[in-house]
């Protein structure tokens, strides 16, 4: 659809008194009024002028090479800022490209708004074959928390307000906002238009837990002999960092951070049970879930990993009431926002709080110290070809020296090993593939991290994961972002050594071009590209890139035989028993 010619549209209304405004201006003003500073998107019909005008109005508008990456950036911005990340796309195909990211944001409970232009409503609804015809609102609905369409310029203010409140209140999530092209050109009286805008007051109201629920939870925790706290990314999202620390330290209970909750307290904290994960999951008698779900990432709270059946009681702190009893019985549900719940718990613990028995905390500590010591020498190796331990050992030391840097991480082995090897020291410094394990989120996340925080970013990427969004190196160079990408290049998916069982000319399904030079991609756009073959070279190259703060891609050649199937979740990849003899 062509962008409406504002001058032409206006002639009709020239009899109206006073100055006029239009959908373009109202939408931009509504976003600005609500504190939107950045839009991630891809320009095109019918939103090209919207992006231009938003930029002219002082919003930072970052253009990507593919909507999915722009959407992933918006999702990450939502996680980092507690404000909805905004992604702007064109109609049908651009909308669909952005939709994966919107669903990803919703699954991760991160606030995001996907704003997509759409074609002529009257033509779409009669299915008369419009340019990029698609009933986008209907398609978005099942994939996000809420979906709205604005048809009248006078409703833009309320529509944007509704989208923002839906995204950030309660359990955060993705919201779709459908903007038919014709809406942007609609005109109305400027004064009335300004009066129609809505600034959302208290968009994510505190949700105070009931005093009974707090008492019940405290009783359960007090009765524990082997308590455990599990910190999830909901706790990281809540930005209640001091309260989380106080609760952990006052209670004296060992804690296990989920992947993106790492750094909420430093991984080197005395009470961290990260390296004793198997022991604490199996042995704990009371488990306090703090902004974490008992989904597949925690084996649904049952099974071998969790020790004897029904051997534990769960206390769950979550803003979403429906999360309770989702997989196992929750003995003490605590519905509320993390800050309000922790404030109430800490009040209740004041005075006479007894820390957990030392035989439990000592056992956890002993197991953890043994595991850390066992790994230490492996992480020091300087082997060529590099294995994961040597390469990640080098990066572990870099993050220890640069705790403010943001670590983006995706891949299979690259993800699983980095998660356990690289310690994090500060909240919300680790961004990874989230609840769905989406490959390709890395570049969008890295860009949002650099833009939203101004910090340097180290993106540790499997070669396969990087390939999903690799073209965004141009975006990184264009905006001169302080991002250092390290591609763990093992020539393939999981490993680079698989052989085609049929003996035909094609390589195996999981194998890529041998010794590909991803570093040259970065050079193509004016960034720095370096090829390294051992951990010492890797350490030097990353340090130089982080000091220089310029777009860099380091191609780290990893032993093609080093990885294992699906990283740590090989058990989720079904294997044919019958057909296996052919492989
Ligand atoms: P992880 O994967 O790290 O275990 P999940 O994404 O599974 O974390 O769980 C995050 C949980 O945190 C979700 O159930 C979500 O409802 C909850 N949550 C998000 N924000 C808040 C908040 N401010 N207060 C309480 N709970 C929250
Ligand atoms: Mg690989």
Q: Do residues 556 and 519 make contact, with C-beta atoms less than 8 angstroms apart?
A: no
Read off the DSSP letter of residue 209.
P
Q: Do residues 512 and 559 make contact, with C-beta atoms less than 8 angstroms apart?
A: no
Residue 5: predicted pLDDT: 47
Domain residue extents for the chain = 20-196, 211-362, 377-572
Residue 579: predicted pLDDT: 65
Helix (H, G, I), strand (E, B) or coil at 187: strand
Residue 404: predicted pLDDT: 98
Quick check: CB of 197 below 6 Å from ligand 1? no
Q: How far is Cα of residue 94 from the mean position of the Cα atoms in its chain?
A: 21
Mutate which of 318, 326, 344 for ligand 1? The one with the most ligand atoms within 8 Å of its CB, which is 318
Distance 72 CA to ligand 2 centre (A): 22
Distance 580 CA to ligand 2 centre (A): 23
The structure tokens listed for 173 are 């999530």
| Topology agreement, domain 20-196 and domain 377-572 | yes
Quick check: CB of 109 below 6 Å from ligand 1? yes
Quick check: CB of 132 below 6 Å from ligand 1? no
DSSP conformation letters of 417-443: HHHHHS---STT-EE--TTTT-TT-HH
Ligand 1, atom nearest to 230 Cα: 4
Which helix H or strand E contains 118, and what residues bound it?
strand 112-118
Ligand 1, atom nearest to 291 Cα: 12
Quick check: CB of 337 below 6 Å from ligand 1? yes
Quick check: CB of 320 below 6 Å from ligand 1? yes
Residue 577: predicted pLDDT: 74
Q: d(Cα 420, Cα 432) in Å, to the nearest integer?
A: 13
Residue 582: predicted pLDDT: 61
| Exposed / middle / buried, residue 565 (Cβ in 10 Å: 0-12, 13-18, 19+) | middle
Q: Which ligand is nearest to the CA of 415?
A: 2
The structure tokens listed for 153 are 């310029």
Ligand 1, atom nearest to 207 Cα: 24
Tens-level pLDDT at each residue, the chain (583 residues): 444 444 444 445 554 568 999 999 999 999 999 999 999 999 999 999 999 999 999 999 999 999 999 999 999 999 999 999 999 999 999 999 999 999 999 999 999 999 999 999 999 999 999 999 999 999 999 999 999 999 999 999 999 999 999 999 999 999 999 999 999 999 999 999 999 999 999 999 999 999 999 999 999 999 999 999 999 999 999 999 999 999 999 999 999 999 999 999 999 999 999 999 999 999 999 999 999 999 999 999 999 999 999 899 999 999 999 999 999 999 999 999 999 999 999 999 999 899 999 999 999 999 999 999 999 999 999 999 999 999 999 999 999 999 999 999 999 999 999 999 999 999 999 999 999 999 999 999 999 999 999 999 999 999 999 999 999 999 999 999 999 999 999 999 999 999 999 989 999 999 999 999 999 999 999 999 999 999 999 999 999 999 999 999 999 999 999 988 888 888 888 878 776 656 6
**Ligand 1, atom 18: nearest CA belongs to which residue?**
234
Cα-trace Rg, the chain: 26
Distance 233 CA to ligand 1 centre (A): 6
Distance 57 CA to ligand 1 centre (A): 35
Q: d(Cα 247, Cα 5) in Å, to the nearest integer?
A: 59
Please, which residues bridge with residue 73 across strands? none
pTM (predicted TM-score): 0.96
Q: How far is Cα of residue 31 from the mean position of the Cα atoms in its chain?
A: 22
Helix (H, G, I), strand (E, B) or coil at 179: strand
Written out in words, the top-level CATH class of the domain with range 377-572 is alpha beta
Distance 212 CA to ligand 2 centre (A): 51
Q: Which residues of 339-364 are buried (b: 16+ CB within 10 A; e: fewer)?
A: bbbbbbbeebbeeeeeebeeebbebb
Mutate which of 104, 232, 330 for ligand 1? The one with the most ligand atoms within 8 Å of its CB, which is 232
> Considering only CA atoms, which of 36, 116, 112 is closest in space to residue 444?
112
Mutate which of 234, 319, 428 for ligand 1? The one with the most ligand atoms within 8 Å of its CB, which is 234
Q: Which superfamily is assigned to 20-196 in CATH? A: Thiamin diphosphate (ThDP)-binding fold, Pyr/PP domains (3.40.50.970)
Quick check: CB of 234 below 6 Å from ligand 1? yes
Torsion-angle region of residue 482: left (phi > 0), alpha (psi -120 to 50) or beta? beta
**Ligand 1, atom 6: nearest CA belongs to which residue?**
108
Residue 581: predicted pLDDT: 58
Read off the DSSP letter of residue 293.
-
Residue 247: predicted pLDDT: 98
Quick check: CB of 209 below 6 Å from ligand 1? no
Q: Do residues 408 and 442 make contact, with C-beta atoms less than 8 angstroms apart?
A: yes
Residue 575: predicted pLDDT: 79
Q: Do residues 342 and 220 make contact, with C-beta atoms less than 8 angstroms apart?
A: no
The CA-atom distances, in angstroms, between 232 and each of 64, 127, 255 are 30, 45, 11
Q: Which residues lie closer than 8 Å to 526 by C-beta, 6 or more apart?
A: 477, 551
The CA-atom distances, in angstroms, between 121 and each of 117, 136, 211, 367 are 11, 10, 50, 63
Quick check: CB of 237 below 6 Å from ligand 1? yes
Q: What fold is seen in the domain 211-362?
A: Rossmann fold (3.40.50)
Q: d(Cα 257, Cα 271) in Å, to the nearest integer?
A: 11
Backbone phi, then psi, for 249, in 5-degree steps?
A: -75, -40
Q: How far apart are the first and last CA of the chain?
A: 51
Q: Do residues 315 and 336 make contact, with C-beta atoms less than 8 angstroms apart?
A: no
Mutate which of 174, 293, 345, 431 for ligand 1? The one with the most ligand atoms within 8 Å of its CB, which is 293
Residue 334: predicted pLDDT: 98
Residue 365: predicted pLDDT: 98
Q: d(Cα 141, Cα 231) in Å, to the nearest integer?
A: 31
Quick check: CB of 189 below 6 Å from ligand 1? no
Length of the chain in residues, anyone?
583
Quick check: CB of 178 below 6 Å from ligand 1? no
Distance 97 CA to ligand 1 centre (A): 26
């Amino acid at each position: 659809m062509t962008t409406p010619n504002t001058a032409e549209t206006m002639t009709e209304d020239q009899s109206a008194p006073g100055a006029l405004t239009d959908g373009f201006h109202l939408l931009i003003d509504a976003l600005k009024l609500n504190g939107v500073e950045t839009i991630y998107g891809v320009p095109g019909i019918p939103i090209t002028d919207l992006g231009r005008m938003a930029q002219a109005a002082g919003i930072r508008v970052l253009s990507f090479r593919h909507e999915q990456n722009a959407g992933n950036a918006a999702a990450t911005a939502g996680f980092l800022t507690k404000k909805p990340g905004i992604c702007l796309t064109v109609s049908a195909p651009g909308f669909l490209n952005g939709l994966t990211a919107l669903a990803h944001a919703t699954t991760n409970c991160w606030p995001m708004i996907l704003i997509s232009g759409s074609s002529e409503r009257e033509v779409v609804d009669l299915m008369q074959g419009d340019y990029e015809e698609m009933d986008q609102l209907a398609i978005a609905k099942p994939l996000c928390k809420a979906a709205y369409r604005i048809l009248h310029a006078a409703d833009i203010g309320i529509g944007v307000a509704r989208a923002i409140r839906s995204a950030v209140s309660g359990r955060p999530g993705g919201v779709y906002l459908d903007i038919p092209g014709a809406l942007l050109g609609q005109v109305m009286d400027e004064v009335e238009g300004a009066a129609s805008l809505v600034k959302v007051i208290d968009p994510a109201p505190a949700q105070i837990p009931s005093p009974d629920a707090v008492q019940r939870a405290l009783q359960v925790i007090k009765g524990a002999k082997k308590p455990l706290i599990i910190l999830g990314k909901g706790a990281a999202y809540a930005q209640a960092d001091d309260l989380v620390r106080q609760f952990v330290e006052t209670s004296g209970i060992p804690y296990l951070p989920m992947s993106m909750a790492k750094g909420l307290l430093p991984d080197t904290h005395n009470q961290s049970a990260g390296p004793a994960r198997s022991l604490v999951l199996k042995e704990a008698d009371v488990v306090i879930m703090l902004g974490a779900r008992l989904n597949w990432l925690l084996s649904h709270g049952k099974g071998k990993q969790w020790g004897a059946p029904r051997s534990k009681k769960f206390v769950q702190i979550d803003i979403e009431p429906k999360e309770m009893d989702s997989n196992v019985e929750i003995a003490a549900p605590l519905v509320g926002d993390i800050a309000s719940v922790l404030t109430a718990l800490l009040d209740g613990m004041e005075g006479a709080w007894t820390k957990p028995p030392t035989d439990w905390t000592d056992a956890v500590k002993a197991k953890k110290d043994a595991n850390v010591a066992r790994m230490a020498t492996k992480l020091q190796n300087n082997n060529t070809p590099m294995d994961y331990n040597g390469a990640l050992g080098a990066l572990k030391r870099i993050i220890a020296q640069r705790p403010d840097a943001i670590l983006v991480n995706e891949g299979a082995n690259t993800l699983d090993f980095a998660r356990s090897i690289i310690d994090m020291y500060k909240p919300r410094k680790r961004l990874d593939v989230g609840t769905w394990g989406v490959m390709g989120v890395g570049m969008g996340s890295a860009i949002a991290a650099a833009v939203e925080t101004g910090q340097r970013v180290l993106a540790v990427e499997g070669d396969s994961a990087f390939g999903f969004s690799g073209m965004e190196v141009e975006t990184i160079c264009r905006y001169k972002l302080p991002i250092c990408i390290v591609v763990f290049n093992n020539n393939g998916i999981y490993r680079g050594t698989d052989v085609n069982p049929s003996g035909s000319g094609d390589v195996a399904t999981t194998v890529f071009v041998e010794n590909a030079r991803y570093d040259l991609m970065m050079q193509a756009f004016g960034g720095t590209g370096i090829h390294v073959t051992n951990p010492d070279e890797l350490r030097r190259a990353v340090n130089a890139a982080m000091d220089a703060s310029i777009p860099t891609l380091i191609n780290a050649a990893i032993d093609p035989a080093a990885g294992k199937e699906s990283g740590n979740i090989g058990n989720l990849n079904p294997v044919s028993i019958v057909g296996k003899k052919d492989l």
